[in-house]
Structure 1
Amino acid sequence: MGVTIIGVGNMGGAMAANLLAQGWAVQVCDMDSAKAADLEKKGALALAVPAQAAINSVAFIVCVVDTAQTDEVLFGAQGLARMLQSGHTVMLCPTISPQDVESFAARLAALGVHTVDAPMSGGPVRARDGTMSLMVACAAAVYAQQAALLQALSDKLFHISETPGDGARTKLVNNLLAGINLVGAAEVLAMAVRLGLDPGRTLDVIEQSSGQSWIGSDRMHRALAGDYAPRAHVTLLEKDTRLAVEAARAAGFEGPLGARASQVFAEAHKAGLAGLDDAAIFRYLASR
């Protein structure tokens, strides 16, 4: 079966590699042609522009960064809309606002095209081995139609609702907690250093105690090793936590932690850490 993936960075590239390993025919497209060329070596077919996608793809997966890129991929001069036909399915994987997902879904529905709102979580390693989480919102019939692809992408599928936009809402809730947990882990290890404790030994204790979190362990091991090569840039959780806080406020909810965690990511960006892995939050807090 064939599938097209537009945007093959860390997550999209890992998804493509996973599908190729399972025998899927995969077409890929990225503004960085080198990323698509790397996947060609694994058996993918590289496209110059999204509009070149094969009309018989099972689904067209959009895995770019933000709303502007999604709009360009779908409705730009060389976007997918030029070749999409009634009955096709577009899967939206970026973390964007629920309102933007709803808008894209409405514009695609006007073409007779189905939308699968499917933000993901877990990082490139889990995307590559098919164990990332997929938060799916789409009509039940579309979910059933795309079951083989969804199951190939993830063994942690959550059919949130039949309403595109609800996947995005769930992802923002999750990522706000991820941001809070990451800032918290970085804060306490920076505190441990200031108290004269061994941060590695302190992290060992936390990982076996009530303070443990997956993202805290994952990122703080990198931070303590001085490894800030970007898997997930600071700007990603900066964007996601900002969108989450905006969604909460639009719904009339104001929590005590989310806005402050979001502010820390914005501060780290301004401090010149935007291009580093988000483990660099530790570097930022330790330097204060």
Structure 2
Amino acid sequence: MQDVRSAAVIGLGSMGWGAALSLLKAGFAVAGCDVRADVLQRFEEAGGRACTTPAKAAEAAGAIFVFVVNSSQAEEVLFGADGAMDAASAGTVFLLCTTMAPSATISIAERLEAAGMLVVDAPVSGGHLKALSGDITVMGSASDAAFAKAQAALDAVSAKVFRLGDRPGIGSQVKMINQLLAGVHIAATAEAMTLAAKTGIDLQTLYDVLRVSAGSSWMFENRGEHIVSGDYTPRSAVNIFVKDLGIVTSEAGKSGVVTPLAATALGLFKEASEAGLGLEDDAAVAKVLARKSGAILPGMEAKA
């Protein structure tokens, strides 16, 4: 028997972890599923129920959040061996928070709905700190029934839920465009910081000036600070934007839309990944530009 105050979070990365803790703070009974044993242990210590399979997490959950990396992982945790769908009760609401191509979201949603489930296309934005505080933005699209069933869980994890349409797929389209801007802004931040370092401008001073000037952006404020401090601990990794900008350029191409800035940024993220930086914070694309420019950024060692 499902419980509307019981939720599952599949994928306890930076965003899923924050969402799971926010649900716990809101009084939900929360099951968390992840492949990393140390993360599950920390989640149990935080008051959650640690599960090693999506099926175990889905049992009795009224709302199931999917926070895995890509559409292939989403299909696996939902429909694969020990997947969540077969263990969930009819009428459970699935919130698809993974950034995926809209066509992939629609395909997954159709399979869930055919099995009697409710689905919210629910990609998110805001970063790990807003996830921890329950203040993420949800770009949602779903039927009225799915939104109603998910309302309490969405309230627990988000500051703003945009209702963008009555069917899955529209939320993913909007998130795709968000990621176009986000990826380009990170690449622009990396370029600006590299130019400053090469010309001898103090990076902290530059950051303090630009973050309150017209050239700033949310990504500059956030990722610029990572570059200034030389801290490339992955909140969102380089490889995430290889995936996300790949979705942007692929979907744009299918629509006949030219996206030169997204393509250039994608090339930079790919180069960073191929240079072994794929699991570092996405601000590490700055290292690629710095090495090409003969500049030294904080956290980089000068070549002998």
> Normalization by structure 1: what TM-score?
0.96
Determine the structure 1 residue equivalent to 2:291.
Answer: 287
Question: Would you say 1:158 and 2:162 are equivalent positions?
Answer: yes
Match of 2:237 among 233, 250, 264: 233
SS at match of 1:237: helix
Percent identity, aligned pairs only, is 38
SS at match of 2:274: helix
Amino acid at match of 1:266: K
Deviations 1:225-273 (A, max 9, x none): 1111111110011111111111111111112311111111111111221
Query: Which 5+ residue runs of structure 1 have no aligned equivalent?
Result: none
Question: Would you say 1:19 and 2:38 are equivalent positions?
Answer: no
Determine the structure 2 residue equivalent to 1:278.
Answer: 282
Match of 1:136 among 136, 140, 162: 140
- Give 1:47 shift: 1.5
Determine the structure 1 residue equivalent to 2:97.
Answer: 93
Determine the structure 1 residue equivalent to 2:106.
Answer: 102
Amino acid at match of 1:108: L
Deviations 1:75-103 (A, max 9, x none): 11110122223212111111111111011
Partner Cα distance (1:100, 1:186) in 2: 31
The 5 Å alignment of 1:60-209 reads 60-209=64-213
Match of 2:249 among 224, 245, 261: 245
Determine the structure 2 residue equivalent to 1:34.
Answer: 38
SS at match of 1:23: coil
Q: In the alignment, is the contact (CA less than 8 A) between 1:223 and 1:283 conserved in 2?
A: no
Partner Cα distance (1:56, 1:238) in 2: 36
Query: Which 5+ residue runs of structure 2 have no aligned equivalent?
Result: 293-304
- Give 1:54 shift: 5.1
SS at match of 1:155: strand
Partner Cα distance (1:282, 1:218) in 2: 14
> Normalization by structure 2: what TM-score?
0.91
SS at match of 2:61: coil
Question: Would you say 1:43 and 2:58 are equivalent positions?
Answer: no
